[in-house]
Amino acid sequence: MKSYSETLSNIYSGRPSSHQLYLHEKILCLPIGDISINTTEKSFSILGYACEEGVKRNQGRIGAVNGPDAIRKQLGKLPNHLPNEVNVLDAGTVNCADRDMETAQQHLSESIFQLLQKNHFPIILGGGHDMAYGTYNGLKKHVSKSETIGIINFDAHFDLRSNLDGDNEIVNNSGTPFYQIAQDCKKEGTPFKYLCLGVRKDANDPTLFETARELDAQYIMRETFRIQFHNELNAWINAFTSSVDHIYVTIDLDGFSSAYAPGVSAPSPMGFTPDVVLESLKTIMGSGKLRVLDIAELNPDFDLDNQTAKLASSLVHYILHDLP
């Protein structure tokens, strides 16, 4: 398997029109090396992360490797309300060759850095949540060392598992990315700024809550992460965004209730709802600090009527149309 593959334009299809009424007529597929620096118009670049090795190592249901294309297929069918001057490109997919997740994460980081340097807003489609380590490092390489990055994770899980196994060997997986980031921050003497929205007790063992406390991670439990508390949630999110220079948002689809997202690596009916995520995203985007976003853990093998892929594509559609 090649570590990078271009996206074929026919992955995006839908109802035809003569006025770019649908996104499949708007999205332009280009190799990442052919994407030019943008100095004027707003530009988005979609990038796939076809890797399920981290999920496999974390004893999850495999199938997430096919997540990026499943989202693309649903995204192309959605209506296009964007002005002509807004560019939406597809920059291809980073693949996990020979189960080498660490190299895939590095390639993802480099690709995101390239897109940010060209003044594009990257939207990454996964793939296991181990993608977060690559996404974060791509943004970190782009911004000044004196500036702080805040991570906002929509997720039932902290993903703060230690990457040391019983023999003190380092084994990274889809449950360790934010722990890895925290350890890097500790080594570099930089703050670890992390807010997890939708955490559930039935999805995290006691040691993970203890790790969150030790790392001074902020989190909001699922019982509070509800649309009826949107005023309080917006206040907490605004307080977090005001404390950092840049925001990286990561959405783990297994945080949603399986009523909305059955096709994920770790489904549960106890998850959160799309409305509270959309309200929170609106607040985050209003900060003007959002720099990159990824969507993790789509598993098409277990999806029902493409429901989870449609949810993911609708989230991308919302970002494309509402990011200031």
Residue with tokens 């605004």, as numbered in its chain: 238
Specify the length of the chain in residues. 324
C-beta separation of 319 from 293 below 8 A: yes
Query: Any idea what the Cα angle at residue 122 is, between residues 118 and 123, rounded to 5°?
Result: 165
Closest to 273 (Cα-Cα) out of 117, 154, 129: 154
245 is in an annotated binding site: no
Count the neighbouring beta carbons within 10 Å of the beta carbon of residue 214.
Answer: 10
How many Cβ atoms are within 10 Å of 61's Cβ, its own excluded?
Answer: 18
SS3 300: helix
Is 157 annotated as ligand-binding?
Answer: yes
Q: Which two tokens stand for residue 38?
A: 């943008």
Q: Determine the Cα–Cα distance for residues 207 and 216; give it in Å rounded to an integer.
A: 14
Is 155 a known ligand-binding residue? yes
Establish whether 98 is an annotated binding residue.
no
Q: DSSP secondary structure string, 148-159?
A: -EEEEEE-SS--
- Annotated ligand binding at 254? The verdict is yes
Residues that constitute the known binding site = 129, 155, 157, 159, 252, 254
Residues that constitute the known binding site for Mn(2+) = 129, 155, 157, 159, 252, 254
